[in-house]
């Protein structure tokens, strides 16, 4: 018997697919930009002691001011900006789109970039205009400004560094785009811990610019925590849409603990940056592989003589899981690999060399 309720869902939902996550059991897992390092045993037991204080019978702290202060002193901005927490930064992307969702409102972003901007716009039913990047994945400034003038978007998403290309765009290009826009400009710095530049200090000068960050890529993907920084007046409005208690008690305590022990995360990020350079060198030395310079914890590379689907499959056969992005517009024959431990990177390089000859 068919479920009569199905016909009450929005018809566009039937065409969507749930976010697919491949089973990584038994694989060298280099597909999701996770930090590969575990914590030293001593740190783990300190953390568990810390979590022991959690009062899980109570609701979490609704508006954790102490945590905001700690986060702000670690990451800035130093000015009187407000901060909003999300259950992962994906939740904040969703909150931003909900906030602007009125008839006729639109979004502008670029391609190739982070897929969630377009996906969430589609879920909520907001038009998203996508401007292609240049061939070497720089911002196409003129086309982006033209789109902003044409559509007057309420939201612009720019990932800095960009995912999946890994590059930081020319800063003055970003500034030109920001200056054109009347709506909210989101600078998504998910890969900030691995990058040489940030827009944090611009926040106080540009009230319609907000900065999105996440704890996921630096080593806390499992706790789902992201934050948005920006003009207090704007963020206080956005805060009205945030679901109460969206950051659970265990996440709050873990972020506090992580900030008190932030040196470990910084050291790991440094190791990842060093490994990234090594991995880039190894990929560059392979015949018919073109890696792109990265300011993030992953590297995009293009196969110059072989089909990306075939190479991806041959890596899977050797129990190495990376991300096949070759079906996305502008990423023909491209694959993306997360920087792992030295051992994982070597396993990946060996498997790739094997895949390229077989
Ligand atoms: C991974 C990623 C995010 C999402 O991070 P979560 O906080 O884990 O939801 C946001 N933006 C970009 C560009 C990303 O690559």
pLDDT at residue 270, rounded to an integer: 98
Counting atoms of ligand 1 from 1, which one is nearest the CA of 215? Answer: 7
pLDDT bucket at 20, cuts 50 / 70 / 90: confident
pLDDT at residue 231, rounded to an integer: 95
Counting atoms of ligand 1 from 1, which one is nearest the CA of 221? Answer: 8
pLDDT at residue 80, rounded to an integer: 79
Residue 1 has pLDDT above 80, yes or no: no
Pocket test for ligand 1, best of 113, 190, 219, 295 (most atoms within 8 A of CB): 190
164 lines ligand 1 (CB under 6 A): no
User: How far apart are the CA of 30 and the centre of ligand 1, in A?
Assistant: 16
Question: What tens digit of pLDDT does each residue of 171-195 get?
Answer: 999 999 999 999 999 999 999 999 9
Q: Tell me the C-alpha distance between 97 and 108, whole Å.
A: 12
Q: Can you tell me whether residue 289 is helix, strand or coil?
A: strand
User: How far apart are the CA of 282 and the centre of ligand 1, in A?
Assistant: 27
215 lines ligand 1 (CB under 6 A): no
Pocket test for ligand 1, best of 19, 86, 188 (most atoms within 8 A of CB): 188
Q: Which two tokens stand for residue 169?
A: 């765009």
pLDDT at residue 350, rounded to an integer: 98
Is residue 294 within 8 Å of residue 273, measured between CB atoms?
no
Question: What tens digit of pLDDT does each residue of 101-159 get?
Answer: 999 999 999 999 999 999 999 999 999 999 999 999 999 999 999 999 999 999 999 99
Q: Closest Cα to atom 1, ligand 1: which residue?
A: 190
H-helix segments, the chain? 41-51, 65-75, 89-100, 115-124, 141-151, 171-180, 232-239, 249-260, 262-285, 308-317, 342-357
Long-range contacts of 98-107 (CB under 8 A, 24+ apart): 98/124, 98/241, 99/237, 99/238, 99/241, 100/126, 100/154, 100/155, 100/183, 100/184, 101/125, 101/126, 105/153, 105/154, 105/155, 106/151, 106/152, 106/153, 106/154, 107/153, 107/154, 107/155, 107/156, 107/157
Q: Tell me the C-alpha distance between 333 and 138, whole Å.
A: 19
The pLDDT of 20-36, averaged and rounded, is: 95
Question: What tens digit of pLDDT does each residue of 94-117 get?
Answer: 999 999 999 999 999 999 999 999
190 lines ligand 1 (CB under 6 A): yes
Distance of CA 24 to the CA centre of its chain: 20
Q: Tell me the C-alpha distance between 177 and 164, whole Å.
A: 20
88 lines ligand 1 (CB under 6 A): yes
Q: Which two tokens stand for residue 93?
A: 């992307």
Mean pLDDT of the chain: 96
291 lines ligand 1 (CB under 6 A): no
Pocket test for ligand 1, best of 90, 220, 298 (most atoms within 8 A of CB): 90
Question: What tens digit of pLDDT does each residue of 285-316 get?
Answer: 999 999 999 999 999 999 999 999 999 999 99
Distance of CA 22 to the CA centre of its chain: 18
Q: Which two tokens stand for residue 210?
A: 């907000």
Q: Tell me the C-alpha distance between 18 and 305, whole Å.
A: 33
214 lines ligand 1 (CB under 6 A): yes
Question: What tens digit of pLDDT does each residue of 44-85 get?
Answer: 999 999 999 899 999 999 999 999 999 999 888 877 799 999
226 lines ligand 1 (CB under 6 A): yes
């Amino acid at each position: 018997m068919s479920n009569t309720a199905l016909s009450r869902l929005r018809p566009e939902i039937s065409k969507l697919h749930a976010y697919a996550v491949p089973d990584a059991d038994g694989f060298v897992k280099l597909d999701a930009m996770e930090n590969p390092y575990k914590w030293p045993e001593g740190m783990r037991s300190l953390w568990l002691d810390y979590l022991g204080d959690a009062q899980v019978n109570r609701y979490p702290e609704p508006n954790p001011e102490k945590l905001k202060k700690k986060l702000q002193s670690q990451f800035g901005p130093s000015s009187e900006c407000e901060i909003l927490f999300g259950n992962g930064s994906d939740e904040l992307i969703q909150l931003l789109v909900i906030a602007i969702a009125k008839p006729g409102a639109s979004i502008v972003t670029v391609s190739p970039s982070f897929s969630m901007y377009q996906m969430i716009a589609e879920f909520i039913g907001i038009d998203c205009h996508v401007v292609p990047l240049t061939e070497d994945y720089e911002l196409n400034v003129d086309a982006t400004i033209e789109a902003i003038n044409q559509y007057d978007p309420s939201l612009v998403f720019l990932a800095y560094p960009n995912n999946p290309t890994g590059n930081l765009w020319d800063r003055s290009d970003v500034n030109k785009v920001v200056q054109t826009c009347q709506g909210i400009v989101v600078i998504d710095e998910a890969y900030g811990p691995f990058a040489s530049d940030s827009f944090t200090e611009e926040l106080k000068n540009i009230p319609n610019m907000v900065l999105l960050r996440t704890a996921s890529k630096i080593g806390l993907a499992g706790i789902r925590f992201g934050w948005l920084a920006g003009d207090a007046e704007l963020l206080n409005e956005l805060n009205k849409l945030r679901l109460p208690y969206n950051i659970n008690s265990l996440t709050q305590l873990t972020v506090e603990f992580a900030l008190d022990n932030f040196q470990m995360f910084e050291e790991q990020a440094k190791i990842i940056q060093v490994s990234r350079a090594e991995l880039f060198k190894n990929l560059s030395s392979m015949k018919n592989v073109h890696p792109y310079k990265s300011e993030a914890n992953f590297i995009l590379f293009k196969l110059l003589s072989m089909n990306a689907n075939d190479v991806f499959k041959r890596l899977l056969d050797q129990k190495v899981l990376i991300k096949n992005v070759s079906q996305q517009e502008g990423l023909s024959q491209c694959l993306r690999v997360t920087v792992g431990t030295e051992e994982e990177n070597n396993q990946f390089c060996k498997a790739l060399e094997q895949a390229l000859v077989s």
